[in-house]
Structure 1
């Protein structure tokens, strides 16, 4: 569909977008979209990394008999890579055997 458009039609569409949203809002909207994409990417990467580490931890626990009480460092979720102002600790439920 875009391949059939002529340059004049593309310029007309861009002009309508600028008129609708205003020239001041467009850079702000683009920045916000980029920031959201970075946050989504970092969260997806963190979830994948957590899944791999949980699988490795489960395999290691099954292979060897470990000390039942091991200190665990708290995990931290960051909103964006390098953004330390919005870092917050994550609380997880205790995984103890109850019977």
Structure 2
């Protein structure tokens, strides 16, 4: 299909084609990638600090409104719905 080209040869050809045709767009793409990585890392850092604060609140409050263990679901039963209820 590719006239006997190996994997590395195809990779080099693809890189050259991208550099040839997408060269003017590469700086803006790199800038956007850098901004996205900065936003992502700041969000991850914020999530970690919020998680540490939440754990500290649970530790200091004891068995308060934030249970340390997950609560098991409660089994219920289906009841007849009122015809006047719009839900």
| TM-score between both structures, scaled by the size of structure 2 | 0.52
* Runs of 5+ unmatched residues, structure 2: 1-5, 64-87
Compute the displacement of 1:55 (Å). Answer: 1.4
Compute the displacement of 1:48 (Å). Answer: 1.5
Q: What number of residue pairs does the alignment pair up? A: 58
Structure 1 partner of 2:85: none
**Taking CA–CA contacts closer than 8 Å with sequence separation of 6 or more, which of the two structures ends up with the larger relative contact order?**
1
Structure 2 partner of 1:5: 7
Q: Which runs of 4+ in 1 moved over 2 A?
A: 8-11, 18-21
| TM-score between both structures, scaled by the size of structure 1 | 0.47
Coordinate RMSD, CA, aligned:
2.2
More strand by share: 1
* Structure ID, larger Rg: 2
Q: Deviations over 1:58-94 (max 9, x none)?
A: 221238xxxxxxxxxxxxxxxxxxxxxxxxxxxxxxx
Do residues 14 (structure 1) and 39 (structure 2) align?
no
